Amino acid sequence: MELWVVITLAAGAVQTLRFMLQKRLKGLGLSTGGATFSRFVYAAPIACAGAAVLLAVQGHGLPGMGARFWAFVVVGGLTQIVATFLTVALFSLRSFAVGIAFTKTETVQVAVLSALILAERVPAAGWIAILIGTCGVLLMSPPPRETGGPMLGRAVLMGVAAGGLFGLSAVGYRGATQELALDDAFARAVVALACVTSFQTLAMVGWLVWREPGEITRVLRSWRATLPVGITGVLGSAGWFVAFALQNAAYVRSLAQVELIYSLLASVLVFHERVSKREIAGIALLALSIIGIVSFG
**pLDDT number for residue 75:** 96
pLDDT of 43 reads 87
List phi, psi (to 5°) of 30.
Answer: -80, 145
User: Cα(first)–Cα(last) distance of the chain, in Å?
Assistant: 17
In 10 A of CB 283, how many CB atoms?
Answer: 25
Q: What is the pLDDT along the chain (297 residues), one digit of tens a residue?
A: 678 888 988 998 888 787 777 667 666 778 878 877 887 888 899 999 999 999 999 988 889 999 999 999 999 999 988 987 887 777 666 555 566 667 777 877 888 898 889 888 777 777 787 778 777 766 765 554 444 444 456 777 788 889 899 999 999 999 999 999 898 999 999 999 999 999 999 999 999 999 999 999 988 998 888 888 888 888 988 999 999 999 888 888 877 777 766 777 777 777 677 777 877 887 788 778 767 766 665
Provide the domain count of the chain.
1
Task: Tally Cβ neighbours within 10 Å of residue 25.
Answer: 23
Give dist(CA 33, CA 296) in Å, integer: 38
3-state secondary structure of 203: helix
What is the residue-wise DSSP string for 232-293? Answer: HHHHHHHHHHHHHHHS-HHHHHHHGGGHHHHHHHHHHHTS-----HHHHHHHHHHHHHHHHH
Contact, 252 vs 243, CB < 8 A?
Answer: yes
pLDDT at residue 13, as a whole number: 86
User: What pLDDT sits at residue 179?
Assistant: 95
Tell me if 38 sits within 8 A of 232, measured CB to CB.
Answer: no
Calpha distance 33→204 (Å, rounded): 8
Distance CA 189, CA 42 (A): 18
Q: What's the pLDDT at 244?
A: 93
pLDDT on residue 238: 92
| The predicted structure's pLDDT at residue 293 | 62
Q: Which residue range is the domain that position 46 belongs to?
A: 3-296
Contact 102, 158 (CB under 8 A): yes
Q: Cα–Cα distance between 67 and 84 in angstroms, integer? A: 26
Q: Please tell me the predicted confidence (pLDDT) of residue 94.
A: 54
